């Protein structure tokens, strides 16, 4: 990303792009690539974004839209002159339409589909047989392939004609189109031209199933040491490839999705979306949190008499809730990552539970002693120090248990643990912490 573009955001906001004051900036904008322009457009308020959009050359507009998030590009799509789409869709490829399809109205998707040639239409139709979570939906059809009986001369002729980006492997297929072997392109040069390619093929190349989860497939490519890996169906038929650039994009999107989901938000949300749309999207999450807060408050209400008699308990309650919440979120984050990478399963959950209980027990003892000592010195009450110390110990152990079982159970019921795990975990640790703290307070201090 150009270091100049972020400073242009301020300039574009202060001045219309048509102003002479921005002549130098307009030159930089004109020279910027699609990723930089997408960044700049997403960083601008709606009015300035639309003004700048009109100054971008038509030849760049489709590529810029592809690089943008769904919500901000929808604003530009809706403002684009309908008569311009025929020009923008000229020679569009299946991969581009797949990226834009969720943002385009159905009529524009159909218009773009009709603009594609026969081969691209077939690719687009095939991709839509998969869900967006399956790698077959995103597999690229830009790869080098030859029959299994091909020779070095055939490979050299093919390489001279075309070499896609990140193409370090040439795939060999049988008559049915099934993947059989792969040859490193760097090893072909200098070999006798009559030599069969199977003689120099790699012994073992990992293939990716078309129905595999995108995040796992991306991880496989990134760890493979190759620029791309073949994607095959259940019959081993070669349907495409996944390269490292696409893998990196899918990994980033998964990370961003989990980050935003933790706050109940969409990773595609526009920085400058309308107040109504933003409020509507966040209202449900706030409502869910309110319900869990009322639930925790209801348990606190059971000990109203205790709180009236021992005011110090009310002062220390946030400490108990905070320690449990932080301890639980640490375990939760670890397990969610493990689930995403398919490292956590029924075979190792028990071992994970034992390990996290030991960690929780050790931390619980240490911090129970520290916080208990502070409370005792602060309020001059030994029993109060004992109460909060025991409550901290119980809550940290409970947080470890909840941190494992909450995401595992949510995953089992096909509910995204990144989206709702933290809310459920916080509710559990709050209730356990408050009941343990106030319950012990009732027994030992009243």
d(CA 362, CA 192): 66
Of 24 and 295, the structure prediction assigns the larger pLDDT to 295
Whole-angstrom Cα distance, residue 198 to residue 206? 17
Which pair of structure tokens corresponds to residue 198?
Answer: 């199977």
Name the pLDDT band for 19 (thresholds 50, 70, 90).
very low
Tokens 């299946």, residue? 94
Instruction: Report CA-CA distances (Å) from 222 to 142, 202, 246, 272, 370.
Output: 18, 19, 10, 34, 44
Determine how β-strand 179-184 pairs with β-strand 145-147.
unpaired
Q: Which pLDDT tens digit goes with each residue over 122-178?
A: 999 999 999 999 999 999 999 999 999 999 999 999 998 878 888 999 999 999 999
The answer to whether residue 339 scores a pLDDT higher than 90 is: no
Q: Which of 28-32, 73-77, 188-192, 395-399 has the lowest mean pLDDT?
A: 28-32
pLDDT, residue 23, reads 39
Q: Of 15 and 437, which is predicted with more confidence?
A: 437
Q: What percent of the chain has pLDDT over 90?
A: 48
15 has pLDDT over 70: no
Q: Of 146 and 12, which is predicted with more confidence?
A: 146
**C-alpha pair distances (Å), 271 with each of 41, 71, 72:** 10, 9, 8
Most confident range, picked from 291-300, 301-310, 393-402: 393-402
Q: How many CA atoms lie within 13 A of 428 on its CB side?
A: 24
pLDDT at 278: 63
Scanning the structure block, which residue is given the tokens 């995204």? 416
CA 328 – CA 428 distance, rounded (Å):
9
**CA nearest to 181, candidates 150, 159, 204, 164:** 204
| Among 10-19, 24-33, 301-310, the least confident range | 10-19
For residue 197, pLDDT over 50 is answered with yes
- Residue range 363-400, pLDDT digits in tens: 999 999 999 999 999 989 999 999 999 999 999 999 99
Look at phi and psi of residue 431 and say left if phi exceeds 0, alpha if psi is from -120 to 50, else beta.
Answer: alpha
Question: What integer pLDDT is reported at residue 229 of this predicted model?
Answer: 96
Environment class of residue 216 by beta-carbon count within 10 Å: exposed (0-12), middle (13-18) or buried (19+)?
middle
What are the tens digits of pLDDT across the range 311-332?
888 888 989 989 988 898 889 8
Residue 264: per-residue pLDDT: 60
Q: What is the pLDDT of residues 263-288, one digit of tens each?
A: 566 655 666 666 676 666 666 666 77
Using the predicted structure, report yes or no on whether residue 95 has a pLDDT greater than 70: yes
List pLDDT tens digits, range 33-46. Answer: 888 888 888 888 88
As a whole number of angstroms, the distance between CA 294 and CA 162 comes to 64
Q: Is-contact 25 51, C-beta < 8 A? A: no
């Amino acid at each position: 990303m150009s270091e100049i573009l972020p400073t242009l955001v301020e300039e574009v906001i202060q001045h219309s792009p048509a102003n002479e004051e921005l002549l130098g900036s307009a030159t930089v904008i004109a020279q910027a690539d699609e990723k930089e322009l997408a960044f700049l457009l997403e960083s601008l308020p709606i009015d300035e974004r639309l003004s700048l959009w009109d100054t971008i050359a038509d030849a760049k507009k489709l590529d810029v839209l592809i690089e943008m998030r769904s919500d901000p590009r929808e604003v530009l799509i809706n403002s684009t002159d309908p008569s311009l789409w025929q020009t923008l869709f000229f020679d569009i490829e299946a991969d581009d339409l797949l990226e834009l399809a969720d943002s385009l109205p159905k009529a524009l998707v159909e218009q773009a589909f009709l603009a594609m040639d026969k081969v691209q239409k077939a690719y687009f139709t095939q991709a839509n047989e998969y869900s967006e979570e399956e790698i077959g939906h995103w597999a690229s059809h830009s790869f080098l392939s030859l029959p299994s009986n091909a020779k070095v001369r055939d490979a050299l002729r093919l390489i001279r004609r075309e070499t896609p980006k990140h193409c370090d492997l040439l795939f060999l297929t049988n008559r049915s189109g099934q993947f059989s072997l792969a040859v490193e392109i760097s090893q072909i040069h200098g070999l006798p031209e009559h030599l069969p390619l199977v003689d120099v093929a790699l012994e073992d190349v990992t293939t990716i199933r078309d129905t595999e989860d995108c995040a796992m497939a991306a991880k496989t490519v990134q760890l493979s040491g190759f620029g791309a890996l073949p994607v095959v169906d259940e019959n081993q038929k070669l349907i495409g490839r996944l390269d490292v650039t696409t893998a990196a994009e899918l990994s980033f999107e998964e990370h961003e999705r989990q980050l935003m989901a933790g706050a109940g938000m969409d990773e595609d949300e526009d920085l400058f979306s309308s107040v109504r749309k933003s409020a509507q999207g966040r209202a449900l999450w706030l409502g869910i949190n309110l319900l869990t807060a009322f639930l925790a408050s209801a348990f606190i209400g059971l000990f109203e008499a205790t709180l009236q008699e021992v005011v110090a308990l009310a002062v220390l309650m946030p400490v108990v809730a905070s320690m449990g919440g932080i301890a639980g979120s640490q375990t939760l984050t670890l397990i969610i990552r493990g689930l995403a990478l398919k490292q956590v399963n029924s075979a190792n959950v028990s071992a994970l539970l034992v390990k996290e209980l030991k960690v929780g027990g050790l931390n619980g003892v240490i911090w129970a002693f520290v916080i208990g000592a502070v409370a005792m010195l602060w309020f001059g009450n030994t029993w109060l120090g004992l109460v909060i110390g025991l409550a901290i110990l119980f809550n940290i152990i409970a947080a470890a248990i909840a941190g494992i079982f909450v995401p595992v159970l949510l995953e089992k019921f096909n509910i995204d643990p990144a989206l709702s795990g933290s809310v459920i975990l916080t509710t559990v640790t709050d209730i356990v912490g408050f009941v343990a703290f106030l319950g012990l307070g009732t027994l030992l201090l009243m």
